[in-house]
A and B are shown apart, each in its own frame.
Chain A
Amino acid sequence: MFAVNKIPISGLGEDRTIKEKHMISTILKDDFFTVLRGLAKTSRMIAPVMLSNGELLYDRIQCIEDVSLQPGIPIMSAKEFFFSSCEELFRFKRIGTDAIDFVQPEEAEACVFLGIRSCDLNGVRYLERFYKRKFNDTTVTKKIEKTVFISLGCLDPGEQCFCACCDSGPFLSDGFDAQLTDLDNRWMVEIATARAETLLRPYDNLFTPATDADLNERKNILSCVDSKFTRRSFMAMGVKKVSLGAVEEEVWEAFGDRCISCGSCVFVCPTCSCFNVLDREIGEEGVRLRTWDACSYSGFTREVSGHNPRPRAADRLKRRFFHKLSYQTTKDSGRLGCMGCGRCVVSCPSLADISTFVTTLRSVRTV
């Protein structure tokens, strides 16, 4: 038919057709490495790598041996690769005093994102939906569209994790191109889109269709994972109280007093998407940059007149949690704005994270 080997993955970028029935097969872990080696030859790849201190980090893969599909949650979310902490929106160049030329940023490149966690892929889909609505921000959405996501279901949720409370993990039912489940010496591979199928077709002979026994094994694994979560955050209570404006003022005060407005929760969050825009110019050439910004910073809403609608840390936390939790804002995004990845639980130096917040709301009620 056609020589799949020669087709660069960029050629598949647009075909996000979701298959009616997911194709499920298994592959020996050693054989899967052969697949990865092959994929890395034809396309750019992002995957978790293990740092020398044992922590995981999503990174661009130069050498396929660096890929780590060990359990654990990477320190940063996946958003950096689609909505970068600092990126060029365009360049401009002055020609004499009378003219100016613009240079568009480079086109997004096709890419395979291997081993993305369920919470993080849900975060990427959340960003995709947000950046697409009303005005389609192609600087973000193009990169997401051109990426094939092979996600990794989590069997060992960490202490910080509460994705099960946020309906964003530990496994996905949609939103991925392919999903991996660890079956000891094999991977179970669930293919959901035509482009994932095309991508893996050259390695067809290495895959075995999943048997009933395999499917049962996965079912058992999935039912065990739920009981492994140690952190429970009762989001429904948070959603209700925040939406109705029923959170006690002393709770906001207490969290405002604790919050040091450092912005770390925002930067590690897979769904936080606020940014600042600034120009940098050297000589005749300049660049317009977009950088991450944080609604917890005191200057985030400060106007040039000095007027600041959210002068207190409590006002800003109220905003942040309202955006993540309320019916009013989640109506537009189609789901909760928190993915339960728990990174803010780890990064917050003062227990002002969303998980502690919703847990507090529950205890306030029951007191």
Chain B
Amino acid sequence: MENIYMPLKARVVSVTNETPDVKTFKLRLDNGDGACIPFLPGNFLEVSSFGAGEAPFCISSSPTRNDAFDITVRSVGSVTSGLHKMKPQDIVGIRGPFGNHFPCSAVQGRDILFVGGGIGLPPLRSLIHYMLDNRDDYGDITILYGARTPDDRVYKRELDQWAGRKDVLFLETVDVGSKSWSGRVGVVTILFDEIFVRPKITTAFTCGPPVMIKFVIQGLLKMGFRPDNIVTTLERYMKCGVGKCGHCAVGEKYACTDGPVFTFADIQKLSEKP
């Protein structure tokens, strides 16, 4: 009889320092060829640091690069600090992938606008890689990224690569600059003034802290986006990942099984304000 709380064993393949308190872990299942369980951008994993506990993390890698699961983790609580102590070859537990996913195929042929804030970039990164690896399936791709400070920018090397691509428009800003920072300073929505989008044929994907999402959605609506063309993720304190523990319930929905991906139109329909 299958125990839905029993994790699979996986090993840390590599650890990348992103910022002073954020690391990306590459995790590979510890059985057979280590291939990932099939997933799509937006899905999440329950990852165990045994002894510290278990927590949900979005998969920050793309299924088009299917050799391992990436999770990008800020050290804030007991599970995440347990993970931050890990080295390559260490054992973790994995359950999942869980949740719904971004509408990767439904938006084929449309223009895409990504708006990410801080540690909200990881879920979008999965989808960005997915779309870049299937570049011909999508129209114009614009990526906007805002971080608190230059040090807090995650995936620094990839940001430079995106900035260098001719088939992608990448713009970024930081809330607070530094001596060595020559880029823009200001919240992510200041970037809206620098882009030209066609809201009717564009789908926007946005992830980040709640207050940022609020202002981004306001900005997108002002630009003329329809609520069902604005896609975000509902981040809730979550325990079990399978719709049982009750923590992530919002009205009649569970962020873990009905989400975490919702359109703004879905969110407006919820009987509880998220």
Contact = CB atoms under 8 A, between A and B. Distances in A.
Contacts of B51: 279, 281, 286
Contact of A100 (B4, B91, B235, B272): B91
A303 B91 CA distance: 26
Contact of A322 (B240, B245, B272): B272
Interface residues of B, number: 39
A110 to B, nearest CB: 14
Contacts of A102: 6
A82 interface: no
Contact of A135 (B4, B6, B50, B52): B4
B245 A274 contact: yes
Contacts of A98: 89, 91
Nearest to B53: A279
Interface string A315-355: 00011001100101101100000000000000000000000
Contacts of A281: 50-51
Given A279-B50, A281-B51, A305-B209, A137 B245 contact: no
Contacts, number: 117
Interface in B83-107: 89, 91
Contacts of A277: 5, 53-54, 239-240, 245
Contact of A139 (B5, B246, B274): B5
A135 B272 CA distance: 24
B242 A138 contact: no
Interface stretch (B141-149, B178-186, B189-197, B249-257): B249-257
Contact of B1 (A142, A274, A332): A142
Contact of A293 (B2, B246, B257): B246
A309 B246 contact: no
Is chain B's interface secondary structure helix, strand, loop, or mixed overall? loop
Given A138-B2, A302-B237, A288 B249 contact: no
Interface in B62-80: 76-77, 80
Contact of B5 (A107, A278, A288, A309): A288
Interface in A280-309: 281, 286, 288, 290, 293, 295, 300-305, 307, 309
Nearest to B235: A303
A99 B242 CA distance: 27
Interface residues of A, number: 52
Given A277-B53, A328-B251, A138 B3 contact: yes
B200 interface: no
A276 B245 contact: yes
Given A273-B246, A288-B54, A104 B3 contact: yes
Given A293-B246, A303-B237, A245 B271 contact: yes
Contacts of B80: 304
B10 to A, nearest CB: 11
Interface string B227-251: 0000000011101101111110111
A329 B272 CA distance: 12
Interface centre among B54, B89, B235, B244 (most CB of A within 10 A): B244
A202 to B, nearest CB: 29
A322 B50 contact: no
A281 B49 CA distance: 11
A323 B249 contact: yes
Given A99-B91, A104-B3, A131 B244 contact: yes
Contact of A275 (B6, B54, B209, B246): B246
Nearest to A107: B1
B271 A304 contact: no
Contacts of B54: 277, 279, 288
Contacts of B110: none
Interface of A: 89-90, 92, 94, 98-100, 102, 104-105, 107, 130-131, 133-139, 142, 245, 273-279, 281, 286, 288, 290, 293, 295, 300-305, 307, 309, 318-319, 322-323, 326, 328-329, 331-332
Given A98-B89, A322-B251, 8 more contacts: A90-B6, A104-B6, A131-B244, A136-B4, A275-B245, A279-B54, A318-B272, A329-B252
Interface of B: 1-6, 9, 48, 50-54, 76-77, 80, 89, 91, 209-210, 235-237, 239-240, 242-247, 249-252, 257, 271-272, 274
A-B complex: 3 closest residue pairs judged by Cβ atoms: A274-B246, A328-B252, A281-B51
24 contacts: A89-B5, A90-B3, A104-B3, A130-B244, A131-B244, A135-B4, A137-B4, A139-B5, A275-B239, A277-B53, A278-B53, A281-B50, A281-B51, A288-B5, A288-B54, A293-B246, A295-B246, A302-B237, A303-B235, A309-B236, A322-B251, A326-B252, A328-B251, A329-B252
